[in-house]
């Protein structure tokens, strides 16, 4: 369960996030939707604790991301945008490294790594060095790595970027599987269709503010648009410019 | 805490070992660069010194018939007289064309002037901008001067004047330098090679800790893990230090081997660089490892990319030479305050070791203590900087 309450974040003169609030409950998929530069990544970075909010609070399963950041990180599996692997390590070693760092005890690491490799269907190239991996392979391994400690909350920043149809499809299946497990999945995207197809809740962000936060049907109703894309455009037009 | 640190450490070591090109440049280029350059310089100077004294040189002489005694004298000084060009003009051409290095011209009037006891003129034609020719010309001139002096003595004696009248002063050089001491001058530059190799060994890992991870996109997911940034930084720093220590050990080892093959005693040098000195040198230089690792990590953390980091770190590679250079130019003797200056203190201690002079334990303690203290301080600053948001770039 992820809670965000009125967070602000500036970089110099750029006020990237201006009071974003939303909730991402367990057992649901929450989509953070918005045009490029809307503040999606900054919001997510605050959630996985690499940025501190200037104002406001955010918590993961009740653990504050600033004051209890280590606790918060324990409950998150994060896939940052464009996450890279260690090219000289195999896919398996990349995953195992994170497993060790997350404190999984030595005896069960192998089993856990095997499980996650099976879950993400990366067995075919698990023992190859990740140097020459395709974007899809890289994303899968990076995802496996961030899920290795079995986190309750999963934060994915534009995970489908650069993926082909097949890879996108298996990513979608995985996200649904995680939801069925009762986990909290929060992911960002700028692709309307993707979000519409997957999410239970959609939080549309523009210019660092929340434009609308509801289910797909709720958004259609409130904007009076049958087409989600029209609804999206209408919603972000209502947000005052930065 | 220790477990995470060890995990990071092991991964960094594995990662670096797998990166063969980087490893090769760190562990082969660094340690071999010094001994190879050193061997080259030593061999060159041995060749030159042999050249000067013993080698027989051929000297084309024009007008040989005018001075048979002089030619005999030259032959006795390992200078073989050979037939030269036809005349003086041809000799000038031959020398400027590089056919001959040196040509001696004995003019026709030589015999006449000689008999009249007026200065008899001879010409040494050489291109002095060519160092090889200049060396030969110097030998020829030296031989001519000696001949001239010998004749002067004979002439004075013939006139009833003691030749000693020409020598109001008798200058004796008493050289107090020991063979080990003489080596120290040349081997002084060796301490920089060690520091260079030591830094090279950890350079790539130091960059990787910040700029490298960031460029690859692996920094952000790493920082989102439930570990503290101190653990990550210290683990990486430890791996950096280990590779630096390895590089230093290899460098000392390669020097030890290389010195065995260098005919240093021909230059009157017997450096004290046995296995015990090698071990002691490692211990004296070891405190510099932490300092070097911290400085490199610190500098790299401010850069935007791997490439930019490499550029800046090549400046860091040169920085330790500065104090060594200043003290060498001013030929300052080791003093207590110098021991507070990292790189300089290690250099001075190393020179003393090579000279086979006893080390002052206080100096060793201050050198190690101050270097470690500074290294610790910089590590602390690194850790602080590793916590800032700007790290993500």
Domain annotation for chain B: domains and CATH numbers: 2-40+179-392 (no CATH), 57-166 (3.40.1710.10)
Distance (Å, whole) CA B81 – CA A80: 84
Length of chain A: 242
Buried b (16+ CB within 10 A) or exposed e, B75-100: eeeebebeebbeebeebeebbeeeeb
Model pTM? 0.80
> pLDDT at residue B365 above 90?
yes
Q: Tell me if chain B has a CB within 8 Å of the CB of A50.
A: yes
- Enumerate the residues of chain A whose CB falls inside 8 A of the CB of residue B389: 50-52
Distance (Å, whole) CA B290 – CA B36: 27
- What is the SS3 assignment for A29? strand
Mutation target to probe the B interface, by most B beta carbons within 10 A, among A49, A53, A79, A80 is A80
CA-nearest residue to A74 within chain B is B226
Token pair, residue B19, equals 């990166």
Q: Could you say which of B14, B15, B220 has the minimum Cβ distance to residue A80?
A: B220
Which residues make Cβ contacts (< 8 Å) with residue A168, sequence separation at least 6? A160, A194
Q: Is the C-alpha dihedral spanning B69, B73, B76, B81 positive or negative?
A: negative
Fold (topology level) of A1-75+152-242: Rossmann fold (3.40.50)
Give the phi and the psi of residue A155 in degrees, each rounded to 5: -115, 120
Report which of residues A35 and B30 the model is more confident about.
Answer: A35
Q: Tell me if chain B has a CB within 8 Å of the CB of A84.
A: yes
**CB atoms < 10 A from the CB of B283, how many?**
11
Size of interface A-B (CB pairs under 8 A): 77
Distance (Å, whole) CA A118 – CA A124: 10
**CB atoms < 10 A from the CB of A167, how many?**
18
Asked if the Cβ–Cβ distance from A86 to B3 is below 8 Å, we say no
Q: Could you say which of A83, A93, A103 has the minimum Cβ distance to residue B217?
A: A83
Q: Quick: pLDDT tens for B140-177.
A: 888 888 888 888 888 888 888 888 877 778 777 776 66
Q: Quick: pLDDT tens for B309-347.
A: 999 998 888 888 888 888 777 777 778 888 999 999 999
Q: Could you say which of A80, A85, A103 has the minimum Cβ distance to residue B224?
A: A80
Give the phi and the psi of residue A118 in degrees, each rounded to 5: -65, -45
- CA–CA distances in Å: residue B34 to residues A139, B182, B185, B191, B212: 45, 19, 16, 9, 28
- What is the SS3 assignment for A57? strand
Nearest to B198 by CA among B346, B27, B318: B27
Shortest distance between the Cα of A69 and any Cα of chain B, in A, equals 8
Per DSSP, the residues of A163-205 read --HHHHHHHHHHHHHHHHTT-EEEEEES-HHHHHHH-SEEEEE
> pLDDT at residue B62 above 80?
yes
Ranges of CATH 3.40.50.300 domains, chain A: 1-75+152-242
Nearest to B290 by CA among B378, B175, B205, B391: B378
Beta bridge partners of A22: A4
How confident is residue B65, by pLDDT bands cut at 50, 70 and 90? Answer: confident
Question: What pLDDT is recorded for position B284?
Answer: 95
- Enumerate the residues of chain A whose CB falls inside 8 A of the CB of residue B8: 101
Mean pLDDT to the nearest integer, B111-115: 86
Q: Quick: pLDDT tens for B31-43.
A: 887 778 777 877 7
Distance (Å, whole) CA B92 – CA B87: 9
> pLDDT at residue B250 above 60?
yes
């Amino acid at each position: 369960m992820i809670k965000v309450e009125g967070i602000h974040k500036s970089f110099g003169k750029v006020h990237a996030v201006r009071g974003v609030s939303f909730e991402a409950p367990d057992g649901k998929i929450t989509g953070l939707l918005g045009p490029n530069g809307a503040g999606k990544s900054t919001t997510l970075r605050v959630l996985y604790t690499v940025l501190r909010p200037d104002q406001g609070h955010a918590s993961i399963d009740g653990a504050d991301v600033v004051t209890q950041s280590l606790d918060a990180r324990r409950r998150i599996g994060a896939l940052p945008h464009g996450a890279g692997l260690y090219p000289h390590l195999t896919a398996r070693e990349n995953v195992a490294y994170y497993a060790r760092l997350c404190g999984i005890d030595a005896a069960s690491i192998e089993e856990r790594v095997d499980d996650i490799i099976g879950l993400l269907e990366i067995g075919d190239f698990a023992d190859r060095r990740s140097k020459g991996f395709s974007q899809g392979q890289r994303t899968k391994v990076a995802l496996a790595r961030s899920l290795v400690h079995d986190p309750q909350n999963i934060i994915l920043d534009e995970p489908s970027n650069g993926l082909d149809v097949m890879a996108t499809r298996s990513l979608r299946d995985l996200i649904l599987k995680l939801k069925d497990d009762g986990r909290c999945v929060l992911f960002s995207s700028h692709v309307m269709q993707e979000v519409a197809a997957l999410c239970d809740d959609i939080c549309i962000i523009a210019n660092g503010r929340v434009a609308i936060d509801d289910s797909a049907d709720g958004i259609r109703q409130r904007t009076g648009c049958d087409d989600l894309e029209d609804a999206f455009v209408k919603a972000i037009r209502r947000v005052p410019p930065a | 805490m220790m477990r995470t640190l060890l995990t990071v450490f092991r991964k960094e070591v594995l990662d670096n070992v797998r990166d063969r090109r980087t490893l090769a440049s760190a562990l082969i280029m660094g340690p071999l660069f010094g001994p190879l350059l050193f061997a080259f310089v030593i061999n060159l100077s041995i060749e030159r010194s042999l050249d000067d004294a013993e080698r027989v040189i051929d000297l084309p002489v024009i007008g040989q018939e005018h001075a048979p005694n002089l030619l005999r004298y030259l032959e006795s000084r390992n200078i073989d007289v050979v037939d030269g060009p036809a005349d003086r003009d041809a000799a000038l051409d031959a020398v400027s064309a590089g056919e001959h290095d040196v040509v001696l011209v004995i003019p026709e009037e030589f015999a006449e002037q000689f008999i009249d006891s007026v200065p008899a003129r001879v010409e040494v034609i050489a291109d002095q901008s060519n160092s090889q020719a200049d060396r030969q010309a110097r030998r020829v001139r030296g031989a001519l001067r000696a001949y001239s002096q010998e004749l002067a003595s004979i002439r004075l004696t013939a006139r009833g004047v003691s030749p000693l009248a020409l020598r109001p002063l008798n200058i004796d050089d008493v050289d107090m330098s020991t063979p080990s001491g003489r080596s120290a001058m040349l081997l002084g530059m060796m301490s920089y090679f060690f520091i260079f190799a030591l830094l090279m060994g950890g350079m790539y890992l130091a960059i990787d800790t910040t700029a490298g991870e960031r460029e690859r996109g692996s920094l952000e997911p790493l920082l989102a893990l439930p570990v503290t940034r101190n653990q990550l930084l210290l683990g990486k720093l430890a791996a950096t230090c280990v590779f630096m220590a390895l590089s230093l050990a290899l460098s000392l080892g390669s020097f030890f081997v290389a010195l065995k093959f260098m005919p240093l005693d021909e230059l009157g040098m017997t450096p004290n660089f046995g296995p015990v000195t090698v071990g002691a040198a490692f211990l004296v230089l070891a405190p510099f490892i932490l300092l070097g690792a911290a400085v490199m990590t610190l500098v790299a953390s401010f850069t935007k990319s791997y490439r930019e980091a490499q550029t800046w770190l090549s400046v860091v590679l040169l920085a330790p030479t500065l104090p060594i250079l200043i003290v060498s130019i001013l030929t300052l003797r080791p003093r207590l305050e110098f021991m507070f200056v990292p790189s300089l203190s290690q250099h001075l201690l190393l020179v003393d070791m090579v000279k086979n002079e006893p080390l002052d334990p206080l100096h060793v303690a201050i050198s190690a203590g101050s270097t470690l203290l500074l290294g610790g301080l910089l590590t602390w600053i690194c850790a602080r900087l590793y916590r800032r948001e700007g790290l993500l770039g």
